């Protein structure tokens, strides 16, 4: 179902928005598992190369989720039997993708790429055959990237080293680039449904951060320091939640609703499909940093873990400002200041205890939350609408 319209009594039209369905929530569960697998991959590959590969894995998983979020916004997948079967089949294939994540650059590389290709092929097939002629043409226009990128990942599974890395870069560039260069005209967005889907995936990522706290504290004695570290981690996750859900997402939804036609589709692509990669991906890195803090509670963080924690925090705020700039053409100065402080303090974390580093970052983010809640001139307008 698209942004269907019906006439009101005055002869104008009003949009009919669909709710997020239980099938979509069920489908998202496999991404909970997949995101957890990415964090696990990062923990066991705590190197600079591992960080880059973990980012590439997340980018692939994110784009699979993104493409289905657009699809289920225009097709009543729960109501139509064929669509329901395709979505559930894709969910099964995506579970295999998630299982292969830990060795996606090793023994399970071909399995990862092949299962991922199946996920994306099912998406394109359903999108092209169950939508309007306009959307059908748009899907076929994007199909070379939507299928070509995943196919390159299959090929990457047969090689190693530099060639494998180059093929991953090509695959992601094809997949992400096709809707930039060929546009999104013909694709449609159901605003409340689309925004709600992204709210839920942010919640999934924040939940992964809470899981990381449990992973970091498992198997070790719950000393007072560990408990304090866990509490700090939870408070930091609360701050991340607050900064996104308090008013940012409300302002963004109003802006998306005000756009029409191709402008709305382009705004949805840029603000949500592209920029939310930074927002959600940064949460995954922060989760890694929290887990490593608890694992190294009495020592400084390893350099890679410090970059994950503080770099992830900075990237989260950069993503927020990119989101705001694309929507409204402005940036939040407070968030810019905290971003600069976070980056500036990163080298210091190599010489202080990890619990102290986590404390400083948590204080910065809580301070930002308080400052915005009390003093933001924008917040009251969106909270009262």
Predicted local distance difference test score (pLDDT) of residue 9: 36
Q: Residues 264, 327: contact at Cβ < 8 Å?
A: no
- The reported pLDDT for the residue numbered 222 is 81
Question: What is the end-to-end Cα distance of the chain in Å, rounded?
Answer: 27
pLDDT value of position 12? 34
* Residue 320 dihedral angles phi and psi, to the nearest 5°: -65, -45
Handedness of CA 197, 203, 204, 206 (dihedral sign): positive
pLDDT confidence of residue 15: 47
Dihedral, 21, 12, 131, 147 alpha carbons, nearest 10: -80
The model's pLDDT over 79-128, given as tens digits with 9 standing for 90+, comes to: 888 899 999 999 999 999 999 999 999 999 999 999 999 999 999 999 98
Taking the C-alpha atoms of residue 36 and residue 54, their distance in angstroms, rounded to an integer, is 11
Domain residue extents for the chain = 17-181, 191-383
For each of the chain's 385 residues, which pLDDT tens digit applies? 334 333 333 333 334 556 788 999 999 999 999 999 999 999 999 999 999 999 999 999 999 999 999 998 888 888 888 899 999 999 999 999 999 999 999 999 999 999 999 999 999 999 988 888 888 899 999 999 999 999 999 999 999 999 999 999 999 999 999 999 999 999 999 899 999 999 999 999 998 888 878 777 777 778 899 999 999 999 999 999 999 998 888 889 999 999 998 999 999 999 999 999 999 999 999 999 999 999 888 899 999 999 999 999 999 999 999 999 999 999 999 999 999 999 999 999 999 999 999 999 999 999 999 999 887 766 666 666 5
- Report d(CA 233, CA 289) in Å as an integer: 9
As to burial, measured by CB atoms within 10 angstroms (0-12 exposed, 13-18 middle, 19+ buried), residue 181 is: exposed
Q: CA 162 to CA 36: how far, in whole Å?
A: 27
Rounded to 5°, the CA angle 162-165-167 comes to 110
Whether residue 67 contacts residue 123, with contact meaning beta carbons closer than 8 Å, is answered with: yes
Q: Are strands 13-16 and 4-7 parallel, antiparallel or unpaired?
A: antiparallel
Task: Please provide residue 284's backbone torsions phi and psi, each rounded to the nearest 5 degrees.
Answer: -60, -40
Q: Are 127 and 108 in contact (CB under 8 A)?
A: no
- Quick one: pLDDT at residue 71? 92
Number of H helices, E strands in the chain: 16, 2
CA atoms of 60 and 187, how far apart (whole Å): 21
pLDDT score of 136 = 86
pLDDT on residue 211:
84
């Amino acid at each position: 179902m698209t942004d269907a319209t019906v006439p009101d009594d005055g002869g104008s039209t009003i949009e009919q928005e669909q709710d997020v369905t239980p099938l979509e929530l069920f489908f998202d569960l496999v991404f909970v598992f997949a995101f957890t697998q990415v964090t696990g991959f990062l923990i066991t590959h705590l190197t600079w190369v591992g960080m880059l590969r973990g980012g590439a894995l997340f980018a692939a998983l994110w784009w699979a989720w993104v493409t289905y979020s657009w699809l289920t916004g225009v097709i009543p997948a729960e109501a139509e039997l064929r669509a329901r079967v395709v979505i559930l089949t894709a969910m099964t294939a995506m579970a295999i993708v998630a299982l292969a994540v830990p060795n996606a650059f090793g023994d399970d590389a071909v399995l990862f790429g092949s299962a991922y290709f199946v996920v994306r092929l099912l998406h394109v097939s359903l999108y092209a055959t169950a939508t309007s002629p306009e959307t059908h043409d748009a899907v076929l226009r994007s199909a070379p990237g939507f299928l070509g990128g995943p196919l390159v990942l299959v090929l990457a599974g047969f090689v190693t080293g530099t060639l494998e890395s180059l093929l991953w870069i090509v695959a992601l560039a094809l997949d992400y680039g096709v809707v930039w260069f060929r546009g999104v005209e013909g694709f449609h967005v159901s605003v409340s449904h689309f925004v709600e889907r992204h709210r839920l995936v942010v919640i999934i990522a924040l939940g992964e951060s809470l899981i990381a706290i449990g992973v970091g504290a498992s198997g070790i004695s719950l000393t007072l320091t560990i408990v304090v570290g866990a509490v700090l981690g939870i408070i930091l996750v609360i701050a991340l939640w607050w900064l996104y859900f308090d008013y940012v997402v409300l302002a963004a939804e109003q802006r998306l609703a005000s756009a029409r036609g191709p402008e709305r589709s382009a705004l949805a692509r840029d603000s949500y499909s592209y920029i939310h990669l930074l927002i959600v991906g940064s949460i995954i890195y922060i989760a890694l940093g929290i887990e490593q803090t608890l694992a190294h509670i009495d020592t400084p963080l390893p350099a890679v873990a410090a970059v994950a924690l503080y770099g992830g925090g900075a990237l989260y705020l950069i993503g927020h400002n990119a989101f705001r700039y694309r929507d409204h053409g402005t940036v939040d100065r407070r968030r810019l200041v905290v971003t600069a402080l976070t980056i500036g303090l990163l080298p210091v974390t190599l010489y202080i205890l990890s619990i102290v580093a986590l404390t400083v970052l948590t204080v910065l983010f809580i301070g930002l939350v308080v400052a915005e809640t009390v003093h933001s001139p924008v917040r009251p307008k969106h909270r009262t609408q």
